[in-house]
């Protein structure tokens, strides 16, 4: 007899799409019957910017409560939305292989970041992206936006936009938007991309492109632990441990102007990080490397996990010593 696995998801198209992909994988390796449980979060309900909402936890708290209340057995999150602190009674059961973590520009008429005319209006809801946009192109107007992928893409004009008008009456008031490539890939919308942004210009958020499968610490679903272990990807899991440890030491949430990306090559984990003033006028960027012990095929090796976390904390300490704290608060 197959066990029923209740999988919690937010209600957005992107959330349901990526949760469906995870659910199919869990069903394949664990032979579960899947039941999707839709949960509405504060991030779905509130309309303010990420910065004014406080950022931390707004997209995950209700899902976590649903798991703890046994309304679902696991929850699927965009890993970048997870607060870095521990959640009592919950554990990060698996981190599948991440999508390409880079950010992309979706602009009118095939324009790139380099070819956007001065004064172009570019939308993003991320303080990190906004700060890096201002650093790369101080002549652009960065516009704070909210909404799902279709809503954001729908605001991009076609043809030259009259700079004297913010909105031409169609709602297409932007020359471009910056989005995560991973979300567009999962939705089959990569055709909208006009420029894939180099991490040297636009470093991604901690955990960007990765998904998190969270479950109760006291696992009570037969076969779930083995299924999660089969889905867990060692390079992704160890990289995001380092990225999240850096954020935690900086005391920076997902709304902070901080970018970081870890890459595991063999046994060597390289972690890159940047802290930017919100106005884009200055930044700190550092890189660190560490050899990770262990040979587990997934991210469960405790010695490797600790080494990855230490790498993130150490790099954060170097950033703080160089003035990152003042830069983030400015």
Which positions are catalytic?
81
Please enumerate in sequence order all residues whose Cβ is within 8 A of that of 14, keeping only pairs 6 or more positions apart, or say none.
148, 149, 183, 186, 187
246 contacts 206 by C-beta, under 8 angstroms: yes
For 196, the enclosing helix (H) or strand (E) is strand 195-196
- Match 């449980």 to its residue by tokens: 37
Whose CA is closest to 153, among 186, 119, 193, 114?
193
Burial class (CB in 10 A: 0-12, 13-18, 19+), 70: exposed
What is d(CA 45, CA 53) in angstroms, rounded to the nearest whole number?
11
How far is CA 261 from its chain centroid?
Answer: 11
User: Which of these, 284, 302, 279, 278, lies nearest to 292 by C-alpha position?
Assistant: 302
Strand extents, DSSP E, 12-67? 33-38
Distance (Å, rounded) from C-alpha 74 to C-alpha 197?
A: 33
Q: Give dist(CA 289, CA 287) in Å, integer.
A: 7
Distance CA 127, CA 254 (A): 9
Residue count (the chain): 330
Helix (H), strand (E) at residue 28: helix 13-30
The backbone region for 229, taken as left when phi is positive above 0, alpha when psi lies in -120 to 50, beta otherwise, is alpha
């Amino acid at each position: 007899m197959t066990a029923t696995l209740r999988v919690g998801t937010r209600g957005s198209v992107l959330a349901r799409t990526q949760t469906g992909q995870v659910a199919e994988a869990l069903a394949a390796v664990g032979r579960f019957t899947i039941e999707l449980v839709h949960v509405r979060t504060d991030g779905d309900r509130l309309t303010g910017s990420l910065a004014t909402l406080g950022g931390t936890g707004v997209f995950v708290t209700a899902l976590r409560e649903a798991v703890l209340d046994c309304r679902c057995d696991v929850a699927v999150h965009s890993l970048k939305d997870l607060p870095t602190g521990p959640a009592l009674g919950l554990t990060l059961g698996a981190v599948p292989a991440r999508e390409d973590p880079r950010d992309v520009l979706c602009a009118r008429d095939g324009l790139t970041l380099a070819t956007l005319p001065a004064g172009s209006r570019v939308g993003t809801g991320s303080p990190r992206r906004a700060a890096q946009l201002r650093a790369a192109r101080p002549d652009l107007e960065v516009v704070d936006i909210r909404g799902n992928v279709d809503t954001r893409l729908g605001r991009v004009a076609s043809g030259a936009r009259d700079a004297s008008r913010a909105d031409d009456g169609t709602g297409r008031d932007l020359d471009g938007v910056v989005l995560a490539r991973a979300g567009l890939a999962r939705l089959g919308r990569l055709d909208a991309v006009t420029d894939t942004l180099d991490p040297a210009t636009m470093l991604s958020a901690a955990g960007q492109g990765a998904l998190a499968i969270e479950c109760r610490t006291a696992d009570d679903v037969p076969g779930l632990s083995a299924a999660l272990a089969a889905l867990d990807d060692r390079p992704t899991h160890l990289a995001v441990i380092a990225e999240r440890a850096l954020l935690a030491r900086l005391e920076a949430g997902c709304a902070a102007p901080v970018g970081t990306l870890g890459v595991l090559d063999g046994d060597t984990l390289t972690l890159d990080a940047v802290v930017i003033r919100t106005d884009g006028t200055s930044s700190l960027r550092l890189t660190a490397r560490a050899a990770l012990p262990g040979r587990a095929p997934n991210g469960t090796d405790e010695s490797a996990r600790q080494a990855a976390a230490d790498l993130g904390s150490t790099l954060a300490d170097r950033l703080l010593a160089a003035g990152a704290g003042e830069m983030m608060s400015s």
